[in-house]
Amino acid sequence: MQATEAPLAFVSRPVPPALELRVNFGVFAGRYATPAELDDLALALLPEVEFVTIVSEHRLEVGGRMEVSLHQVRVEVAEEHLPEGGSRELLSARLVDAAERWARGCMSGRHSGLEES
Strand partners, 108: none
89 in any annotated domain: yes
14 in any annotated domain: no
Strand partners, 40: none
CATH of the domain at 33: 3.30.70
Average pLDDT over residues 89-116: 84
Give the tens place of pLDDT for each residue, 44-60: 999 999 999 999 999 99
5 in any annotated domain: no
For residues 49 and 94, the answer to whether their CB atoms sit within 8 Å is no
* Confidence at residue 85, expressed as pLDDT on a 0 to 100 scale: 74
Half-sphere exposure of 42 (CA within 13 A, CB side): 13
**How would you classify the pairing of strands 66-77 and 53-63?**
antiparallel
Considering the chain, what percentage of its residues have pLDDT values greater than 90?
Answer: 77
Nearby residues of 115 by Cβ (< 8 Å), 6 or more positions away: none
59: domain range?
Answer: 19-106
113 in any annotated domain: no
Distance (Å, rounded) from C-alpha 34 to C-alpha 47?
Answer: 21
Domain count, the chain: 1
